[in-house]
Each structure stands twice: as C-alpha cells, then as structure tokens.
Amino acid sequence: MPLTRKPRIAIMGEFSSGKSTLCNVLMGAKPLLEKVTATQLPPVWLSYGPDDAYTMGLDGHAYDLDLAELDRVSLETTEHVRIFMKSDILRYCDLIDMPGISDPSMSSEVWERMAHLADAVLWCTHATQAWRQSESGVWSTFPQEMRQNSILLITRFDKILGDSDRAKVVKRVKQETESLFSEVFPVSLLQAMRAGEDAEKWRSSGAADFTQALFDIIHRIVDEGHPEPGDADKPTITPDSGDETELGQSLIAEAFERLTVIRNTPVVKVLPRRVEAKVERLLRTERPTAETGPTLVTFADNIVGTGDALPTSRMKMS
C-alpha cells in the first residue's frame, strides 16, 4: 500500500552551507521565509495551507504563534515551529528546515529530536570545503534506508572558478559519498533564486537537474511507502489543488507540473486547479485541536510553571 500522507523532506547541512537559500529556492523566495531564515530557530516544519503558525513545546503543548514574534521562540523549550503557507512545493511535500549541524550556538539535540520524522534529506555541503568529516560523521548516524531517497547538493558551486577545479571537487565528493546518497548535484542556489522566469539561468544553475531528481524521490517515497497506523484503507496521498492566481508562478512548479504530465503512471496525481478533492484529505497539516492533539494555547496563557498538572501525552506527529 502506498503512502497516505505527504512525504517529509528535511533540509540539512552545516552552519552557513546554503540551507536557507535552498529553502527559499524551493518555496519561491516567499517574503515570509526571509524572517524565518533570519531568525535563530529550532526546526521549522513548513506545510501547505492558509498563512498560520504555532510552536510545539517540549512540554507537549502547542502554542499559538504570531509570526511577527519569531524572535521570542525559545530553543530551550520548543521542539519545532510549524508554519502553513501557500507555496507550490508544499502541494507535493512538507519541508523541515533544520538548524545547522555545526552551529556553535545550539545543541545538536535541537535538530536530532526531529530528524526521525523525515522521509528524505536534502543535504547542503559548501563547495569550497565540500563534505567535511563532521558532515560524514553526522550522516553516518542516519538509517541506511534513508540514503536512497536523499540528495547531496554541492552548494555555492559558482565560488569555484575553472572547469578543472569544479570537476575535481565533484569527482572527490562523489567518490567519498558513494552509496551514501541517491545522487550528487553541484548547484548555485543564488543563481537559481535569481533566475526568475529565465529557464536557461535556472538550468545552468543546476536547479533543473536537481528538481527532476527531487520529483522522482517524492514519487518513490509515495510508491514505496506504507500507510500510517490505522490508515490501511485510506487512499494514496494526492497534492493539494492550487489556485493559479496564487500558485504556479515558480520554475520549480512548472517543472513539477511538466514532469507529472510526462510520467507514465503517476501515483501522485495532480488535481485540476480550482477543483476540490473528492476523497478525504489525509495531510494532517491542520492545527491541533482537542480531538487531534493538545489544546492550542497562547504565550500569554503562560501555563508552564504555574504549578498546574500538564497533560503527559504528546501530539501524534505525522
């Protein structure tokens, strides 16, 4: 039975390796992401939906979040930030933007407690010092089954001048990471982000090849996945339908739409625009409620530390 929820793709790498730029490329450089990536945060889980946000506390409570107050989110008490927005890529998968694995200002526990939720990883490694021993050490702790669905991006590839030097870097990285990733792609993310509607700039940045590989991985995760517990009788997940007045403007969206058309037997079928799904949506991207998880509270409620007994159950993450 195929997957009954959206694939979850984690964006990982060392501090200042291009993760934030990759997230902006995938999301279409939405203005909201500028604030997110400019703030030191725990993992940020991005899902499709009307603009909204909350935080999941380590105490098992979900806290209402005003995105203007992102700088108030505590690394010490927050497991992750959940943000909903309408972006092309989020119709197909959820993204989890992880903190840098080598960030000296935060413990590795901040990202380690979320890593198990990912179905695949997009790992960013800086071209001028690609695939450091510290990266290899962290990646070796991930389950082997995740490797076939993960991609290594050699970012800031434009910083290396000369075809010979570029070829040497790619050759070395591919040799050192053989069988550790599905594929390795050199890419200039800033060039991709600035490509706008210029398909040639998008292609020359390396983003076109990477986009097709990501599309294939999302399909493979769905094809080879398993239903969530209790969902064996549920239908295979389908992308959110999009309104072309809000979506479909990015080159990655165009690529995904085109690839879906030419794929012979697509498991993830794109719904017609402006047409509602006829089957139950199994995306589990809604805010917590009394039925689906702990009661959503606000920072102003200040329930932590009041002496009141707190629920011990955590919201089921999916």
Please report which confidence band the pLDDT of residue 247 belongs to, taking 50, 70 and 90 as the band edges: low
Residues 30 and 137 sit within 8 Å (Cβ to Cβ): no
User: DSSP 3-state assignment of 238?
Assistant: coil
Please report which confidence band the pLDDT of residue 165 belongs to, taking 50, 70 and 90 as the band edges: very high
Residues 153 and 125 sit within 8 Å (Cβ to Cβ): yes
Instruction: Specify the pLDDT at position 93.
Output: 92
Beta bridge partners of 153: 124, 185
Instruction: Specify the pLDDT at position 171.
Output: 97
CA gap 264, 253 in Å, rounded: 19
Q: Which of 67-71, 126-130, 133-137, 251-255 has the lowest mean pLDDT?
A: 251-255
**pLDDT, tens digit, 9 for 90 and up, residues 189-234:** 999 988 888 889 999 999 999 999 999 999 888 888 776 676 777 7
Domains of the chain: 8-301 (3.40.50.300)
Q: What is the model's pTM?
A: 0.80
What is the average pLDDT across 243-262? 66
Instruction: Specify the pLDDT at position 28.
Output: 78
Is the per-residue pLDDT at 6 higher than 60?
yes
Task: Name the average pLDDT for the chain.
Answer: 78
Instruction: Specify the pLDDT at position 176.
Output: 97
Only one residue has tokens 């309408």, namely: 86
**pLDDT, tens digit, 9 for 90 and up, residues 199-208:** 899 999 999 9
Please report which confidence band the pLDDT of residue 20 belongs to, taking 50, 70 and 90 as the band edges: confident
CA gap 284, 316 in Å, rounded: 10
Instruction: Specify the pLDDT at position 189.
Output: 92
Number of residues that this document lists for the chain? 318
Quick one: CA torsion of 88, 6, 19, 38, rounded to 10 degrees? 70
User: DSSP 3-state assignment of 239?
Assistant: coil
Is the per-residue pLDDT at 68 higher than 50?
yes
Please report which confidence band the pLDDT of residue 249 belongs to, taking 50, 70 and 90 as the band edges: low
Using CA atoms, how far residue 242 sits from 88, 95, 208, 282, in Å, is 8, 18, 22, 17
Please report which confidence band the pLDDT of residue 149 belongs to, taking 50, 70 and 90 as the band edges: very high
Alpha helices for 142-250 (secondary structure H): 163-176, 189-193, 199-204, 207-224
Residues 142 and 136 sit within 8 Å (Cβ to Cβ): no
Residue 165 burial (10 A CB sphere; 0-12, 13-18, 19+)? exposed
